[in-house]
Structure 1
């Protein structure tokens, strides 16, 4: 291989990343930091090493085949930011330290309602309660973390990221992150206009449902989970989650995937000092993947397990020897595959393990509504962008931006209390990332339609094993070879467009 020296570099880098990922798993599952900052400093030192970068640059200039050229493009993009100037390296170190400090706070923080500590899982369940005042109280309990984050340097973190973007020569941090993810800087241009009619349809639908189901003029944020429970009460059905693995294993066997062959670790029940979000830790591709979740015996919670298991299985369907190409896989592709498996919670292929066909009608209704209502998630995406496009000096500035975004997009009015935003950990640990979920869903819908057209079927569940082969051959294998927009067009035959979602 013409680039063997570079491959050897990435094997060494991969070992350092595995160590950091294992330490991240420990922090997120126990609350203990056993040396994450040092692990990331070791990675940074390796990437800053002049000799390592010289090797990359030397091989990048060689006459290479198409695949090795792509490998070298990815390698160069990873090393090059650490060899611009000292300021950029110092800023990256400060950002990493502050992010780690705030993520530690987020992972161990617990909300309270009426003086009693509650978990996020319990809040989720309270949001399905008939008592609207209790739902409202549960919803606003999540704003308790906002000030804690500000007091501990959230605005400082935003400003550090703005400084980094400026030092990198980007217009703003949004553009910087899109470039880093190999996405066009104009990828979001036109979204508001393109979605306007669909959002009008959503707003009308929400008013109709509020009137019909809760005798109210409008649907408030604390009504949404309750409404879903009314449309589809089976979602709130109590189930025994202790046998979750066997359910997941049997489901994935429908696709010819035997989870018993994979080294997937699960940690799914809540406890003190454990992160209350859902994650997949890709410790080592094809060898070690770990799923963190928080469930409490509700059928709806399987959606998270399906999503995170989708991430884990994706890791095992990749080639572990393609260390460099695997670094080039877009987050949109990974989230799209995970979302695809998460969506099966409404499909007979999965719900047959819990219900008979009597749930089909309600699941079809809730699936249709959730797909439309998911447009509101775009508010999170654009709010994240605006944090880096406005001058922020206080928590009130953040609230002003929040309300402006949601007013412009959906016509929302300000809430009676401070809007919960800080509890969503992405703003702190994964900025300018949330578009991966929505664009992943667009990709997911495109893959469904392309496969069904090729196979002359109405649903991918008619040929599940063939679908997995399509996913492996047309999506997973080539996904590192192409930038996301190139891959999307290669599969669909058209440039990326939101039209595939509808």
Structure 2
């Protein structure tokens, strides 16, 4: 391969931006953590300041012009220098635009995060946390109570609807200044995802799952009509307010396994978590020591993993709101899947490559690990439950994946409509049209509320949901490869698990962002991403 005459200049440029970005990136992570764990106005203001300071590093038009020229000059090369230029180019491209507009976007995103974190729905004059609302939808047999809980779970949408529309307008303004159709297209391109290829994948998945999902809905609806003594199944009859999960309903309707929440009640979830990752030879106690895992007033009610800075040893943290049940077992395993990926990047990689290959590759690891909470072998040999208690758990898992896919299609299609026209007055109807078509959920009569804005991702993690889908496809393919070629059996058991852990470090975690996500998937699984593997895994669980 020919040498690059500009290499010394490029390397100096990269080092300069490493020195500029490194401290600000760490400050941004700390500010984000502070807001998530306190929810204060002061923390919100610090996050805006830190975000603006970080983004300012990548807004120099002259530097962006240099990167663009080098990127064109190095196109087609497969080496670390070219990859660094590509990664930094994408970072710069995401930060270009009118300074005032970008600053306003940061402010609105921070405001929205604070609203979602602090919002408490009221039922009977009592403010309920997200966990408490889910408990009502999981356990209550009172029709009125369930409906009230479902309705108030959406009230945050009213608070943020205007903010989300304004964010969409501003994001579109930035995108169009750069020559994109809208923010949706710009986001995909900057994520190294071809919009047409993604559309082909999502459309094929919809078509492949239309029949199986209709069959599942028929069984679930029969069960729920009988359980609640109703003629029509409504959204509040499901245990998840967005119907993005069906584990409880599938378990009851099909008699697949006893209530897993009851099995996990009283169990030490952190002990199970440590045992699972110990089996893989992946240490997580350092992450646990930095994490914030239990409910508290003012704290973000969701769960996430955060990588603060890129200096080794890596500062990785998890925020959660743990309760001893099946949902939080899955969530803990999931978030620490992100964590072990983040903490095992090769520290000798160049600074801008010390990161995940892509959002969908880290989601793949997290989803693969979270699914262990439904794996009969894990439930029996790691969690210690009787074999008969977990016999139907994997079929339940696959039906739940089918349900989540249909929900993800709703968000995927809705965000396309939102960014096509953030001002359209019928967005509430657009949302429910998609919910009815793709999830087969009946729209409550006369309902005209911004239920779409109640989902935090639409505001603060836009154009993200397709990564969960791509992550599921990759997770299915990766686990199959590891268990066929590396461990020759369940990848998480003590003994062979250490081989799986080493393989993940070598093939996925360690290389970081050295390659793009397609090359990462092919290197780790031996083949290009194949949606048919995931579809086949769902077919095996048809009711």
TM normalised by structure 2 equals 0.83
**Any conservation in 1 of the 2:295–2:301 contact (CA below 8 Å)?**
yes
Q: Which moved more, 1:348-357 or 1:363-372?
A: 348-357
**Any conservation in 1 of the 2:105–2:170 contact (CA below 8 Å)?**
yes
Deviation at 1:50, TM superposition (A): 5.9
- Tell me, yes or no, if structure 1 residue 476 matches structure 2 residue 509: yes
2:284 to 237, 256, 259: 259
- Tell me, yes or no, if structure 1 residue 96 matches structure 2 residue 106: yes
CA pair 458-263 structure 1, distance change in 2 beyond 3 A: closer
- Tell me, yes or no, if structure 1 residue 227 matches structure 2 residue 249: yes
Partner Cα distance (1:220, 1:501) in 2: 29
**Any conservation in 2 of the 1:82–1:89 contact (CA below 8 Å)?**
no
Q: Which digits, 9 at most, give the CA deviation of each residue in 1:102-150, with x for residues without a partner?
A: 2111111111112211010011111112415133322221121111112
CA RMSD for the aligned pairs?
2.8
Map of 1:170 onto structure 2: 180
Deviation at 1:481, TM superposition (A): 2.3
Q: Which moved more, 1:142-151 or 1:168-177?
A: 142-151
- Tell me, yes or no, if structure 1 residue 45 matches structure 2 residue 45: no
- Tell me, yes or no, if structure 1 residue 27 matches structure 2 residue 55: no
Partner Cα distance (1:336, 1:56) in 2: 31
Map of 2:82 onto structure 1: 69
1:110 to 120, 123, 135: 120
SS of corresponding position for 2:122: strand
Partner Cα distance (2:173, 2:293) in 1: 38
Map of 2:161 onto structure 1: 150
**Any conservation in 1 of the 2:341–2:356 contact (CA below 8 Å)?**
no
Map of 1:450 onto structure 2: 481
CA pair 354-65 structure 1, distance change in 2 beyond 3 A: closer
Partner Cα distance (1:419, 1:132) in 2: 25
What is the 5 A alignment of 1:37-436? 37-49=48-60, 53=64, 66-82=79-95, 87-131=97-141, 133=143, 134-151=145-162, 153-190=163-200, 191-212=202-223, 214-215=225-226, 219-225=233-239, 226-228=248-250, 230=252, 231=255, 232-237=257-262, 239=264, 243-260=268-285, 262=287, 264-285=289-310, 286-322=313-349, 323-327=351-355, 329-347=357-375, 348-349=377-378, 352-353=382-383, 355-378=385-408, 379-394=410-425, 397-416=426-445, 417=447, 418=449, 420-436=451-467
Deviation at 1:208, TM superposition (A): 1.5
Q: Which moved more, 1:18-27 or 1:226-235?
A: 226-235
TM normalised by structure 1 equals 0.90
Partner Cα distance (1:102, 1:239) in 2: 34
CA pair 169-217 structure 1, distance change in 2 beyond 3 A: farther
CA pair 392-297 structure 1, distance change in 2 beyond 3 A: same
Partner Cα distance (1:328, 1:427) in 2: 23
Q: Which digits, 9 at most, give the CA deviation of each residue in 1:409-437, with x for residues without a partner?
A: 34544234447332321111110011111
Deviation at 1:8, TM superposition (A): 4.2
Unaligned runs of 5+ in 1: none
SS of corresponding position for 1:74: helix
CA pair 154-199 structure 1, distance change in 2 beyond 3 A: same
**Any conservation in 1 of the 2:235–2:441 contact (CA below 8 Å)?**
no
SS of corresponding position for 1:272: coil
Partner Cα distance (2:148, 2:104) in 1: 36
CA pair 276-96 structure 1, distance change in 2 beyond 3 A: same
CA pair 241-23 structure 1, distance change in 2 beyond 3 A: farther
Q: Which digits, 9 at most, give the CA deviation of each residue in 1:330-363, with x for residues without a partner?
A: 1001111111111111233356335232322132
What number of residue pairs does the alignment pair up? 496
Deviation at 1:492, TM superposition (A): 4.3
Partner Cα distance (1:328, 1:304) in 2: 20
CA pair 81-113 structure 1, distance change in 2 beyond 3 A: closer
Q: Which digits, 9 at most, give the CA deviation of each residue in 1:261-302, with x for residues without a partner?
A: 557522122222111111111113442111111123323311
Q: Which moved more, 1:213-222 or 1:440-449?
A: 213-222
CA pair 461-154 structure 1, distance change in 2 beyond 3 A: closer
Q: Which moved more, 1:207-216 or 1:38-47?
A: 207-216
CA pair 281-109 structure 1, distance change in 2 beyond 3 A: same
Q: Which moved more, 1:95-104 or 1:379-388?
A: 379-388
**Any conservation in 2 of the 1:303–1:343 contact (CA below 8 Å)?**
yes
Q: Which moved more, 1:22-31 or 1:47-56?
A: 47-56
Partner Cα distance (2:27, 2:534) in 1: 38
CA pair 18-358 structure 1, distance change in 2 beyond 3 A: same
**Any conservation in 2 of the 1:16–1:42 contact (CA below 8 Å)?**
yes
SS of corresponding position for 1:99: helix
**Any conservation in 1 of the 2:507–2:523 contact (CA below 8 Å)?**
no
1:438 to 445, 449, 469: 469
